Structure 1
C-alpha cells in the first residue's frame, strides 16, 4: 500500500470508530461495484448511512469537508441505489449520505468531523 492509501485507510479507521461510538453499526467498508466505491455503509437506528470519508494532512489545499462536489454527491446517491438494489431495498428509516472529514495535524491528535445528510 502506498502512502496515500495508508493515509486514506487510517482516516477510514478513525471514521468507523467515530460512527460506532456514535451508536451506529458498520455493515461494510470499502464496498465496490463497477460504478465506484462506498467507504462505509452503516445503520443509524433504522436508517441506512452511506458515508464518504475524506482524509487530509494539515495545510492541504482544501479542507476534507469541501471535497463532496455536486458530481461526487450524485455518484454517492447512485452508489447508494445500487447497494440498496443488491441488498433488498431501503430500510424503514430511509437512506442518508454522510461525510466524515479527517485532518491530520503535524502534531497532536487527528481532528475528525462528521456531517450528516450532505447529499
Structure 2
C-alpha cells in the first residue's frame, strides 16, 4: 500500500513539474516573439540626458538628431535584452520538462505493470 502511494505521488509530482515547465516554456516563447518592454518617451529621455550631471546647471551640447539616434539605440538594446532574457527563460523551462519527464514515464510504466500483475 505504501509503495503504491509513493509511486502515485512521484508520478503526480513529476507530471505537475512537466506541465509547469510546458506553461513556462510557452510564456517564454511568447515573450520572445512579442517582447514586452517598457520604453520611456523621447521627451523623458531628452530631459534625463539634458544635463551633464546631478546638480550641474550647464546643458550638454547634443543635437536633436544625435539625441534621437541615442534614444533609438537604447530602445533596440532594451528589446534585444528582453528577447535574450526570454530565450534564457525558455532554456530553463526546458529543464523543468526534460528532467522530470523520464522519471514520470518510469513510474507510470511501473504503475501500469503492477496493475496488470494484480489482474
TM-score, normalised relative to structure 2: 0.23
Larger helix fraction of residues: 2
Q: Is the strand fraction higher in 1 or 2? A: 1
Q: Which has the larger radius of gyration?
A: 2
